Amino acid sequence: MEKLTLQINGTEYDAAKVVEEMVGGNELWKTKGFEFLIQLQDVSEFPIKFKTSGTTGTPKEISFSKEQIRKSATNSCRFFEIKNTDRLFLCLPAEFVAGRMMMARALYSKAKLIWKEPSLHPDIATERINFAAFTPAQVKSIIHEPNSLQAFEKIDKVIIGGGEISQSLENELLKLSNSIYATYGMTETLTHVAVRKIGESVYRSVYDDVKFSVNAARCLEIDIPFISKGKLATYDVVQLVDEYSFTWKGRLDNVINSGGIKIYAEELEHKIIQSGLLKENTFYITSIKDEQFGESPVIVMLKEGVKDDMAVLLTQVNGLLNKHEHVKHVHILDKFELTITGKLKRQRF
């Protein structure tokens, strides 16, 4: 079996070098990444455990074989045309799938890896970067600082995942000259299975052998043969374009069934943000029990963002929405509940 090595920040690593670094180093944020590299370079066939982020429930562990990890990484490298002369940039936590799979792409493509400590504003003022992955929060922080923005725009290809990209952020990214993609994926699919270019609405499969369908609830199902014998079910409501592409509507968890009419919380939020009435990240739409309709939409707002009379605000909001979408109440919270990876947890009332 070929010996696997990886160049990280200019140093060549094999399993022995990684162990030496773990014993002698004091950068604790690297530990999980080094543990993963040791597992990947081990010749035995034991599965590797991945931890989910807990976006839609209690975090859990999922195991994948090394062959599945290699297949996912090499397919992604093929789609994004990653070469052994490229430099990949990692600033995501190495205990979760996005960070780990960036390491796997570098390992199997023999590309060089630039590995920085995960932070909201990672240090990208470095040598030329060909491919990088960020969260929406990181990108927003980066592009609002002039020096970082210049470095960001020099990255050839950028993928953004781990959360929804707001319309205002997307509008800012459209002004940039590099290739930027939103990704669709999860731990269960070993990171992204589909991407869409910023400015477009359609997600397209990144693998020739991965196909999409929908179930009776209009939720996406993923046929990914090298991961699962059956289709992987999701809670993402989509509009299927064809078996290789779709547009995303929202989460089934967030669908509000009001008198038999399905209302998508994310679509209402988009209308409100587009109008300029409320700023993103200061509110969200969820549901409240309604004796007549079963459920009705409500707005949840941060206390610090409340300035206007609530009755006036409701009138303004409902002026933007269709009659069956009208919001009945406003709930005020001191802070929003987030997952350990910073994703919003929506309360229902």
Q: Is residue 41 part of a domain?
A: yes
Q: Is 127 in the same domain as 18?
A: yes
Does the structure show a pLDDT above 80 at 306? no
Report residue 195 as tokens.
């991407």
Average pLDDT of the chain is: 89
Closest CA to 77 of 116, 101, 109: 109
Does the structure show a pLDDT above 80 at 322? yes
pLDDT at 337: 86
Q: Is residue 18 part of a domain?
A: yes
Specify the number of domains making up the chain.
Answer: 2
Q: Is 155 in the same domain as 12?
A: yes
Alpha-carbon span 300 to 267, nearest angstrom: 15
Residue 137 CB: number of other CB atoms within 10 A? 17
Q: Is 11 in the same domain as 147?
A: yes
Does the structure show a pLDDT above 70 at 133? yes
Least-confidence region, from 208-222, 278-292, 303-317:
303-317
Report residue 233 as tokens.
């079910």
Q: Is residue 214 part of a domain?
A: no
Q: Is 292 in the same domain as 182?
A: no
**pLDDT 10s digits, 193-231:** 999 999 999 999 998 889 999 999 889 999 999 998 899
Q: What is the mean pLDDT of residues 240-251?
A: 93
Q: Is 189 in the same domain as 278?
A: no
**pLDDT 10s digits, 174-197:** 999 999 999 999 999 999 999 999
Task: Indicate the helix (H) or strand (E) that contains 316.
Answer: helix 310-318
Closest CA to 234 of 209, 249, 214: 214
Q: Which CATH number characterizes residue 289's domain?
A: 3.30.300.30
Task: Indicate the helix (H) or strand (E) that contains 69.
Answer: helix 66-79
Q: Is 152 in the same domain as 282?
A: no
Determine the structural domain holding residue 269 and report its residue range: 259-333
Does the structure show a pLDDT above 80 at 307? no
Report residue 239 as tokens.
């509009």
Domain boundary residue, one of 197, 221, 236: 197
Q: Would you list the DSSP string of 113-150?
A: EEE----SS----SS--SEEEE-HHHHHHHHTSHHHHH
Q: Is 171 in the same domain as 309?
A: no
Q: Is 173 in the same domain as 97?
A: yes
Q: Is 54 in the same domain as 129?
A: yes
Label residue 54 by pLDDT band (50, 70, 90). Answer: low
Q: Is 66 in the same domain as 141?
A: yes
Q: Is 268 in the same domain as 192?
A: no
Q: Is 265 in the same domain as 166?
A: no
pLDDT at 341: 60
pLDDT at 261: 81
Q: Which is higher by pLDDT, 258 or 130?
A: 130
Percent of the chain with pLDDT over 70: 96
Q: Is residue 307 part of a domain?
A: yes
pLDDT at 328: 84
Task: Indicate the helix (H) or strand (E) that contains 287.
Answer: strand 283-290
pLDDT at 205: 96
Q: Which is higher by pLDDT, 102 or 1?
A: 102
Does the structure show a pLDDT above 60 at 44? yes
Q: Which CATH number characterizes residue 85's domain?
A: 3.40.50.12780
